[in-house]
């Protein structure tokens, strides 16, 4: 299915799909529900994650965020951090070898791509250590493996038709994936107006940014589609994060 067709369908069924996404989150089990946020730069992943976190905590749910995971890694000693990295690399070594081989076959191998994978895998190790020892209802991840693999491989190939079907083998397990869709013109304007300049898209002039967003957005969407996660939803960013959070809260009370 072409991305353009999906967007047209989403316009018609926007409310229904959003309602279904929020309904699925309504009754978490004893196991933490791990939710991965995916979307192009400017889609508001961080803003939505912040609003969802606030809503859940106001209702008494225990929420773990990616920022808290990162803060934990920063606070531990250098020795603990080194041991954590070694443990993670050893655990994921077979996957890392296959990932490196896949990048090499596609002629886009780089040390940076490997380090990006290890970085998220380290956070994943901390995540699972945390939910084993503490009560956690939800884990909200606004920049996780799908997003990281996309960031690590864009600007490298003329066509992504082949590799987009291969990378799902390297995703980390999550319970739900939410794709925040947005038209590229709006995304480009949002990127221009935001204060952080951490992304490569932040440093582009407006014309080049819009062109590159359009070029790589379908690739990101297809990476989302290839996720083996059984629960996936498209969320339209025509609703504000606050509106999404309000709808989210309403269905949690059902």
Q: Distances in Å between the alpha carbon of 101 and those of 38, 91, 114, 195?
A: 25, 18, 11, 38
Greatest alpha-carbon span in the chain:
54
Whether 39 is covered by a domain: the verdict is yes
CATH number, position 232: 3.40.50.300
Whether 27 is covered by a domain: the verdict is no
User: What value does the mean pLDDT of the chain take?
Assistant: 86
Whether 25 is covered by a domain: the verdict is no
Enclosing domain of residue 243: 3-10+32-252
Whether 134 is covered by a domain: the verdict is yes
Whether 76 is covered by a domain: the verdict is yes
- Please name the residues in contact with 230: beta carbons below 8 A apart, sequence gap of 6 or more: none
Q: What is the pLDDT of residues 152-189, one digit of tens each?
A: 999 888 889 999 999 999 999 999 899 999 999 999 98
Whether 24 is covered by a domain: the verdict is no
Instruction: Please say if the pLDDT value at position 204 is more than 90.
Output: no
Q: Distances in Å between the alpha carbon of 222 and those of 49, 177, 211, 218, 247?
A: 22, 13, 18, 6, 27
SS3 181: strand
Whether 49 is covered by a domain: the verdict is yes
Whether 18 is covered by a domain: the verdict is no
Decide: 131 and 65 in contact? Cβ < 8 Å: no
Place of tokens 């008494």: 60
What domain count does the chain have? Answer: 1
Q: What is the pLDDT of residues 120-157, one digit of tens each?
A: 999 999 999 999 989 999 999 999 999 999 999 998 88
């Amino acid at each position: 299915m072409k991305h353009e067709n999906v967007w047209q369908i989403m316009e018609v069924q926007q409310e229904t799909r959003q309602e279904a996404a929020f309904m699925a989150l309504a009754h978490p089990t004893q196991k933490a529900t791990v939710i991965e946020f995916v979307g192009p730069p400017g889609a508001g992943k961080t803003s939505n994650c912040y609003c969802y976190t606030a809503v859940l905590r106001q209702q008494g749910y225990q929420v773990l965020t990616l920022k808290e995971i990162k803060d934990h890694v920063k606070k531990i000693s250098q020795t603990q951090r080194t041991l954590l990295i070694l443990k993670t690399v050893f655990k994921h070594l077979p996957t890392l070898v296959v990932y490196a081989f896949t990048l090499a076959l596609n002629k886009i191998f780089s040390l940076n791509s490997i380090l990006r994978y290890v970085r998220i895998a380290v956070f994943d190790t901390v995540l699972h250590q945390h939910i084993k020892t503490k009560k956690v209802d939800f884990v909200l991840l606004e920049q996780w493996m799908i997003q990281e693999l996309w960031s690590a491989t864009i600007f490298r190939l003329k066509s992504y038709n082949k590799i987009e079907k291969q990378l799902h083998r390297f995703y980390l397990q999550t319970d739900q994936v939410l794709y925040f869709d947005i038209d590229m013109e709006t995304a480009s304007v949002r990127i221009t107006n935001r204060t952080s300049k951490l992304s490569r898209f932040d440093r582009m002039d407006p014309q080049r940014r819009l062109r590159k967003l359009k070029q790589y957005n379908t690739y990101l969407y297809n990476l989302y589609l290839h996720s083996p996660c059984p629960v996936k939803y498209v969320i339209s960013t025509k609703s504000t994060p606050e509106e999404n959070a309000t709808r989210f809260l309403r269905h949690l009370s059902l």
